[in-house]
């Protein structure tokens, strides 16, 4: 008699029996199915629609409101692309679709969540950080004139860049309220302040003249070191200002990014230096009187370009207005009344520093990339700003599908029109690594 505690494998449900094999197969199948259920499926879509806006104007700068899709040619890196859609978004555009309903008890004045017709969106940035105090009051007066002349239903926001970026008034069509906010703007002095190189150079020349010393004397060498040190200090401050200003433009771009269509950002500023100049801290023995050895300091082109590309990606067209306007020749020559014989090495240092602080290259780079305008050489800022708002009346949006696969990075964008006499203001490129369908 078999022991109770012993099972004969030949008579039990061992793995070798047909029934056991079927049970094991069923168990393995259920286990594999359960594991498959735990794995979340991954779907990848590489095709997306990219959209951007542009403005069309005629030879006189008046907006063009009747462009057709078949008149446009889109080139990406020199290759033609089909337009997936095209629409007019200027002043005569049709009413926008109703916005999504908000939860009960929730109210908003956010433009992208309110209904109504297409709006003209303009943001005004008063840059006190990069504008001389003597120019700030004039800028304020011109901006007030601009607000008084705006058409009804134009939505405007006003910001100020000083020690930090402030919202003076968010988007509204209430010009009375906007003017009240703008009147509260006070003159701000940049801290730390740039040294007045021309004044320092003139004082150094005058000191040498009073003492009867030459520029090649020991005293001349000491004065040169002092003046060159101030010039290089200015270069350092200018670099810091470039970084803080581009950060502020970045923040403002993110604030405006959620608003659909073309956004005009009008930046009234003295500008920032793209290629500051550094001067050797000591005169070289081989230098003659009246000679300096300037060298280009840190080039901020990459930093400025990156900021411009991010603005373009958010659909923002930058309109840079040179706050210095038109200066009388007397302004530039007031401190240069010394005879040419006394305008030696010190004023050469000042001239080198002044050349490096020229902001026009930075202005031009920012506006070209974003599809805006660089407005300079005028004291009528209100007329200059009106160009930006007028462009909105001839604004359009178009979209296309980028071809895959393409490496991430910036792509050159060009839009041409077959109609003669028409100029298009559009971003110069787009980024394929943008997180959404906007640039």
Beta carbons of 282 and 334 less than 8 angstroms apart: no
Mean pLDDT rounded to a whole number for the chain: 75
Is the pLDDT at 245 greater than 90? The verdict is: yes
Q: Token pair 């604030």 is at which residue?
A: 255
- Residue 37: the pLDDT is 52
Strand ranges, E, within 341-427: 373-375, 395-400, 410-417, 423-425
Domain boundaries, the chain: 125-392
Q: Is 90 exceeded by the pLDDT of residue 415? A: yes
Residue with tokens 């971003």: 427
Q: Give the end-to-end CA distance of the chain in Å, rounded to a whole number.
A: 87
| 3 state DSSP class of 240 | helix
The predicted pLDDT at position 201 comes to 74
Q: Is the pLDDT reported for residue 199 higher than 80?
A: no
Q: What angle do CA 378, 189, 187 make, to 5 degrees?
A: 65
Residue 121 β-bridge partners: 155, 263
Give the pLDDT band of residue 413 (cuts 50, 70, 90).
Answer: very high
- For the segment 379-405, the average pLDDT, to the nearest whole number, is 84
> Would you place residue 298 in the very low, low, confident or very high pLDDT band (cuts 50, 70, 90)?
low
Residue 125: is its pLDDT beyond 90?
yes
Residue 197 tokens, joined: 């190189």
- Which pLDDT belongs to residue 400? 94
Tokens of 388: 């930006």
5 or 18: which leads in pLDDT: 18
Residue of 324 and 355 predicted with greater confidence: 324
325-349 tens-digit pLDDT: 765 444 443 444 444 444 466 666 6
Q: Distance between CA 377 and CA 381 in Å, rounded?
A: 10
Residue 123 three-state SS: strand
Position 152 scores a pLDDT of 66
Strands (E), 153-229: 154-161, 165-172
**Predicted local confidence at residue 374, as pLDDT:** 93
What is the spatial distance between Cα 263 and Cα 120, in angstroms, rounded to a whole number?
Answer: 8
pLDDT at 430 over 70: yes
Band the pLDDT of 132: cuts 50, 70, 90. confident
User: What is the distance between the alpha carbons of residues 80 and 284, in angstroms, rounded to a whole number?
Assistant: 56
Report the candidate in 200, 247, 148, 168 with the shortest Cα–Cα distance to residue 348. 200
Task: Judge whether residue 227 has pLDDT over 60.
Answer: yes
pLDDT for residue 203 is more than 50: yes
DSSP state of 360: H
Q: Is the pLDDT of residue 396 over 90?
A: yes
| CA 435 remoteness from chain centre | 17
Q: Could you give the CA distance from residue 110 to residue 172 in angstroms, rounded to a whole number? A: 10
Asked if pLDDT for residue 288 goes beyond 50, the answer is no
CA distance 233 to 242: 14
Contacts of 143 (CB under 8 A, 6+ apart): 124, 126, 158, 182, 268, 381, 382, 385
Whether the pLDDT of residue 8 is over 90: the answer is no
Q: Which two tokens stand for residue 351?
A: 């001239």
> 343 is written with which tokens?
């305008």
Give me the residue label for tokens 């082109």.
301
Q: Quote the tokens at residue 360.
A: 């026009």
Q: How far is CA 12 from CA 21, 23, 98, 311, 333, in A?
A: 13, 14, 74, 77, 113
Q: Is the sign of the CA dihedral 231, 233, 236, 237 positive or negative?
A: negative
% of the chain exceeding 90 in pLDDT: 30
Q: What is the pLDDT of residue 347?
A: 64
Residues 404, 406, 411, 414, CA torsion sign: negative
Q: Give the single-character DSSP code of 384.
A: H
Q: In this prediction, what percent of the chain has a pLDDT beyond 70?
A: 65
Structural contact between residues 117 and 155, judged by C-beta atoms closer than 8 angstroms = no
Query: Length of the chain, please?
Result: 439
pLDDT for 47 equals: 66
- Span 178-201, average pLDDT: 76
- The gap from C-alpha 138 to its chain's centroid, in whole angstroms, comes to 24
Element (H, E) at 312: helix 301-313
Over residues 292-305, the mean pLDDT reads 69
CA dihedral for 424, 425, 431, 434, sign (positive or negative): negative
Position 120 scores a pLDDT of 57
- 384 against 147, higher pLDDT: 147
Report d(CA 41, CA 356) in Å as an integer: 57
Residue identified by tokens 């550094």 is 278
Mapped onto helix, strand or coil, the DSSP state of residue 84 is coil
Residue 135 confidence (pLDDT) above 50: yes
Question: What is the pLDDT at residue 67?
Answer: 96
Q: What is the pLDDT of residues 21-74, one digit of tens each?
A: 555 555 555 555 555 455 555 544 556 788 999 999 999 989 999 999 999 999
Confidence of residue 263 (pLDDT cuts 50, 70, 90): very high
């Amino acid at each position: 008699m078999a022991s109770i505690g012993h099972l004969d494998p030949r008579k039990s449900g061992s793995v070798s029996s047909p029934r056991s094999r079927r049970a094991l197969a069923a168990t393995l199948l259920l286990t594999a199915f359960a594991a498959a259920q735990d794995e979340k499926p991954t779907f990848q879509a590489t095709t997306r629609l990219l959209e951007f806006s542009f403005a069309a104007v005629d030879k006189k700068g008046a907006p063009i409101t009747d462009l057709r899709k078949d008149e446009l040619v889109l080139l990406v890196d020199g290759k033609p692309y089909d337009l997936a859609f095209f629409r007019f978004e200027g002043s005569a555009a049709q009413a926008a679709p109703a916005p999504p309903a908000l939860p009960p008890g929730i109210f908003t004045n956010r433009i992208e969540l309110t209904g109504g017709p297409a709006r003209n969106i303009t943001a005004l940035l008063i840059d006190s950080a990069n504008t001389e105090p003597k120019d700030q009051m004039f800028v304020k007066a011109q901006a007030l004139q601009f607000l008084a002349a705006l058409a009804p239903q134009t939505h405007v926001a006003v910001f100020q860049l000083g020690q930090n970026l402030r919202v003076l008034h968010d988007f509204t069509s209430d010009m009375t309220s906007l003017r009240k906010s703008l009147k509260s703007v006070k003159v701000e002095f940049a801290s730390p302040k740039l040294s007045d190189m021309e004044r320092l150079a003139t004082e150094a020349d005058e000191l040498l003249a009073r003492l009867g010393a030459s520029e090649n004397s020991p005293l001349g060498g000491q004065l040169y070191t002092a003046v060159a040190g101030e010039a290089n200090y200015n270069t350092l401050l200018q670099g810091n200002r470039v970084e803080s200003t581009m950060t502020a433009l970045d923040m403002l771009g993110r604030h405006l990014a959620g608003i659909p269509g073309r956004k005009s950002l009008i930046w009234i500023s003295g500008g920032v230096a793209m290629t500051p100049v550094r001067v050797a801290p000591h005169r070289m023995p081989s230098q003659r009187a009246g000679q300096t050895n300037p060298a280009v300091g840190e080039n901020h082109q990459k930093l400025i370009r990156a900021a411009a590309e991010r603005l373009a990606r958010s659909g923002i067209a930058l309109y840079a207005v040179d706050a210095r306007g038109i200066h009388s020749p007397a302004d530039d020559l007031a401190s240069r009344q010394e005879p040419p014989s006394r305008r030696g090495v010190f004023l050469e240092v000042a001239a080198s520093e002044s050349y490096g602080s020229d902001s026009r290259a930075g202005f031009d780079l920012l506006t070209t990339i974003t599809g805006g305008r660089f407005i300079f050489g005028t004291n009528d800022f209100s007329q200059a700003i009106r160009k930006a708002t007028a462009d909105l009346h001839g604004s359009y949006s178009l979209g296309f599908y980028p071809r895959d696969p393409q490496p991430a990075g910036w792509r050159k964008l060009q839009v041409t029109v077959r109609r003669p006499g028409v100029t298009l203001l559009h971003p110069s490129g787009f980024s394929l690594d943008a997180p959404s369908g906007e640039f």
